[in-house]
Amino acid sequence: MAKMSKIILTDTTLRDGNHTVSHQFSPDDVAKVALGLQGAGIDLIEIGHGDGLTGSSINYGFSKYDDFSTIKAAAEVLTTSKLTVLLLPGIGTVKALEQAHKYGAKAVRVATHVTEADVSAQHIKAAKEMGLFTVGFLMMSHMTDVDRLVEEALKMESYGADVVYVTDSAGAMVPSQVAEKVAALKNNLKVPIGHHAHNNLGCAIANNLAAIDAGATYVDSSLMGLGAGAGNTSTETLIAVLNKMKHDHRGDLYKAMDVSKDILVPILESKGLHLSTNHDSMMLGYAGVYSSFLLHSRRASERFDVDVRDILLELGKRKVVGGQEDWIIDIAHGLSTR
């Protein structure tokens, strides 16, 4: 158990989530979302084509904007969060990485199929020479057994990777499987271990938690869970769950929710994508209050001009149950006079 280790958050809304918008995030979109994520305490912010540097192609879909214009836009706003790019050897090149570095990338994730870590040697070494924080990303980790996974991860470590990730690209794993794989890497590698989940089997967040319990200290997520397939772990829900389990991390729940609601949703709307946040139901679970309180709380929020989230949290703390709806007014009034 590594519960008290600091958890390092990587948000991939602007890279894995780029799949959802057919790689059409503009430099302006990227700057706005990246700035918001930085404000919400996200440690690494990954941007770019869904398939990484120079992924824009007939095979993987063309980006609307070139990699370097979006990297430049993000670099101009990021100060405390690390601007990160993805590089799939075979799709992206060392030359492209040099360009990305020149335009402001501070970190790179070098990704290979789980049994092909060899092909990352040159790219990881080059990244380290550029001074980039370098993550080894073992994709489709469900496709091999623990021994082989360890072997491949050790290769990435030997090339110089600062972190190695168990990446569940197809969302094919359940928590016990993630725990087994992460624990094996934790026992055999010196560098920190990360986990990137997809939600195809509805297990993304629980897989992240299982990874953390097994010793991972790096986890990925994206706002509203935006990403390929069934999407990633939702950043806002991940932060809520990490708070609930008292894990140490830099994420700010309300700010992450606000980036989704106030910045990302309008951007998606402008591209014709009408997605809703799950914030209402998530806050009910986070506060631990029954759904019938929501409507009353929202009315009280408007009447007393207090954040409905604060009302719900206070209801949860006081363990209010059905039949005690009149407490909501008291709580809202109390919050408004603080």
Binding residues for substrate: 15-16, 169, 196, 290
The Cα 219–Cα 208 span in angstroms is: 7
Check residue 257 for interaction with a copy of itself (CB under 8 A). no
Q: Closest by alpha carbon to 130, among 101, 104, 163, 155?
A: 101
Give the binding range for a copy of itself (CB under 8 A) out of 63-71, 78-86, 241-249, 300-308. 241-249
23, 106, 142, 195: which one binds a copy of itself (CB under 8 A)? 142
Q: Which residues are annotated as a binding site for Mn(2+)?
A: 16, 196, 198
Closest approach, Cβ 77 to a copy of itself, in A, equals 29
Cβ closer to a copy of itself: 70 or 234?
234
Q: Closest by alpha carbon to 48, among 8, 9, 115, 103?
A: 103
Closest approach, Cβ 252 to a copy of itself, in A, equals 18
The interaxial angle of helices 67-77 and 94-103, nearest 10 deg, is 30
Q: Closest by alpha carbon to 44, among 97, 85, 81?
A: 81
| Residue 315 contacts residue 334 (beta carbons within 8 Å) | no
Check residue 198 for interaction with a copy of itself (CB under 8 A). yes
Is 279 a known active-site residue?
no
Check residue 121 for interaction with a copy of itself (CB under 8 A). no
| Residue 114 contacts residue 141 (beta carbons within 8 Å) | yes
Whole-Å CA distances, 171 to 7, 115, 162, 242, 309: 21, 18, 24, 21, 31
Check residue 244 for interaction with a copy of itself (CB under 8 A). yes
36, 55, 136, 175: which one binds a copy of itself (CB under 8 A)? 175
Q: Across the strands, what pairs with 136?
A: 110, 164
Closest approach, Cβ 207 to a copy of itself, in A, equals 7
Q: Which of residues 50-89 bind a copy of itself (CB under 8 A)?
A: none
* Size (the chain), residues: 338
Q: Closest by alpha carbon to 258, among 289, 294, 283, 233?
A: 283
27, 171, 192, 194: which one binds a copy of itself (CB under 8 A)? 171
Cβ closer to a copy of itself: 130 or 140?
140
Closest approach, Cβ 113 to a copy of itself, in A, equals 6
Tokens in use for 254? 């309300």
Q: Which of residues 277-336 bind a copy of itself (CB under 8 A)?
A: 278, 281-282, 284-291, 316, 319, 321-322
Enzyme catalytic residues: 19
